Chain A
Amino acid sequence: MLLNAENESDALELLHQNGCTDGLPVVIPTVERVAAMVTRVDLDPDLSLGEMGPKQGSATVEKVAAAAVMAGCLLEHFPVVIAAVKAICKKEFDLTEVNQTTHCLAPLILVNGPARIDCGPMESGACILGPGNRANASIGRALSLCLINIAGRISGVTDMAVFSTPGKFTACFAEAEERSPFEPFHVAQGFSADESVVTVVGVEAPHSLVMEPTGDVRNDAERLIKTIAGVVANPGSNNVYRYGDGCVVVVLNPEHATLLAKAGFDRVRICGQIQQRAFVTKAVADALYGGLNFVHPDDDKKIHAIRNPSQIMLIVAGGMGTYSMVLPSWAYAPSGNIAISETIDVFPHCDLPFD
């Protein structure tokens, strides 16, 4: 369906008035711009990538392209947006509940593989979640605009978040594969290194953690693991309150990752150590939760923030320094608030410049 306006300024005001924006100005999705975006991925504009709840809107390629144009995407960014939409349309993402919860939850997009360059360039270093990189900002924003206009996520009406989160504007970055001592995240998940993969997971805003190395590698590694576990085991987090449900995203900066690698840690050992050490005592849980949360059959003295190391999504990204970050999840989703990965079809014309 086409809309008409006297000029782009009027069109922008109409889009704002009709609740089609995130509150910021958008690029007007003119027929020509949307057609160019669709052409880039060589898909039928009427092809539905899935239904998006709560509205159960059909995510056609054309509607997703309109969101990508509005978000400021370049044509080469679009394949990543397509893959991210496919990922969140999967039943296991529980999109209706993710969009409607009172929790401060937003989809975070991680990109691995050649698409980080071919469909970007995307930022994997300093300020990955801040302003500055067009691909990071616009790809994440395109997904957010899909949620508003296709899923029907309306603040205060169908999105009942008590506070919401800045991640609902945009949250997207690439893994720093070249600066990581570990295999890339998508390879650890079973994809090949030359595949491009988007992984989407619903998470809170980042919680920073600081650990300054002293040069004693083994002791530094021990302190870093303990510090990460301490942040993961924040007793106010849903993961703890839910007795270990949901996933947790841990983003190590390359310096911290290298430190752990030098001390002999790999991905499996890091996640295992964090899982073991991230707990609150049952006495603390009983005192804080007042018996209001869920009774868990495990009468252990420790309440683990996560039950299994596989619930930790370990990523290496960010600039150099003493900070890494933890992003807890909601933990109430029917399918367990899990990360969903989808391969990115980079398409043959992805390297053409925008014109």
Chain B
Amino acid sequence: MTIQYINPVADCLTPMNPYSLSIESNQPATIALVINNIVDCDVFMGLVGDALRGLHPHLTIKSYPTRQITCADNILMDQIAAECDAAVCAIGHCGSCTAGTVKDGIALVERGIPAVSLITEVFWDQADALARSLGWQDFPRLKLPYPIWGTESGTMELIANQTADELMPLLERSIADVA
């Protein structure tokens, strides 16, 4: 005899938003580095900032420590939106800081600021699922190796340089264009 039962799984009703933000290539712009409190995030993002300045002298790089592991507060997000043209949010290096890094990126995107979130490979699928459930499946993320913290300085600099190389294409065009 066939039985009928209730599907216990709830739907996510968040509508999906198309991501279409970008900054113009080779034009002066201010880029925010949104730096969470994960160990060595400040060191790593300092190296990323140095690399960006070297590659793109027309850019102004400003650091914004969130002093949080989880998402930054709205006051800081408003400040960044007022002062910057684009943002790089870092680092998704644990469960809650990945959630925070994704949320920070989306918070800026929802303020009209192109943003990229840096997520380590271990937490990539988590970030993907969260971006989807928050309605921004296509908002740009960049995959980093794990771990960043505790990495020997030469290796960290190599990762930072590679990150800087890959960042601007994500900020200068929508991810749909990149694809």
Contacts of A18 in B (CB 8 A): 9
Among residues of B, the one whose C-beta sits closest to the C-beta of A15 is B8
Contacts of B133 in A (CB 8 A): 53-56, 152
> Could you jot down 21 A-B contacts, CB within 8 Å?
A1-B7, A2-B4, A5-B2, A6-B2, A6-B3, A7-B3, A15-B8, A52-B10, A54-B126, A57-B10, A57-B11, A63-B8, A65-B6, A96-B103, A101-B95, A149-B8, A157-B129, A158-B129, A160-B126, A292-B39, A294-B37
Contact of A4 with B by CB under 8 A: yes
Q: How far is the CA of A15 from the CA of B7 in the complex (A)?
A: 9
Q: Is the CB of B96 within 8 A of A58?
A: no
Q: Is the CB of B3 within 8 A of A28?
A: yes
User: Interface centre among B9, B39, B68, B70, by most A CB within 10 Å?
Assistant: B9
Contacts of B123 in A (CB 8 A): 160
Q: How far is the CA of A20 from the CA of B71 in the complex (A)?
A: 29
Other-chain residue from B10, B67, B69, B129 in contact with A54 (beta carbon distance below 8 A)? B129
Q: How far is the CA of A18 from the CA of B9 in the complex (A)?
A: 10
Q: Which residues of A contact B (CB under 8 A)?
A: 1-8, 11, 15, 18, 20, 28-31, 34, 52-60, 62-63, 65-67, 70, 94, 96-97, 100-103, 145, 149-150, 152, 154, 157-161, 292, 294, 332-334
- Whole-angstrom distance between the Cβ of B126 and the nearest chain A Cβ: 6
Other-chain residue from A56, A58, A333 in contact with B134 (beta carbon distance below 8 A)? A56
Contact of B175 with A by CB under 8 A: no
Q: Is the CB of A332 within 8 A of B96?
A: yes
Contact of B94 with A by CB under 8 A: yes
Q: Is the CB of A3 within 8 A of B7?
A: yes
A159-B95, A334-B70 as given contacts; A20 in contact with B126, CB under 8 Å: no
Q: Is the CB of B5 within 8 A of A3?
A: yes
Among residues of A, the one whose C-beta sits closest to the C-beta of B103 is A96
Among residues of A, the one whose C-beta sits closest to the C-beta of B37 is A294
Q: Which residues of B contact A (CB under 8 A)?
A: 1-14, 37, 39, 67-71, 73, 94-96, 98-100, 103, 123, 125-126, 129-130, 133-134
Q: How far is the CA of A5 from the CA of B5 in the complex (A)?
A: 8
Contacts of B70 in A (CB 8 A): 94, 97, 332-334
Contacts of A103 in B (CB 8 A): 95-96
Q: Is the CB of B4 within 8 A of A334?
A: no
Q: How far is the CA of A192 from the CA of B37 in the complex (A)?
A: 42
- Whole-angstrom distance between the Cβ of B70 and the nearest chain A Cβ: 5
Q: How far is the CA of A2 from the CA of B6 in the complex (A)?
A: 5
User: Interface centre among A20, A55, A62, by most B CB within 10 Å?
Assistant: A55
Among residues of B, the one whose C-beta sits closest to the C-beta of A10 is B3
Q: Is the CB of A62 within 8 A of B6?
A: yes
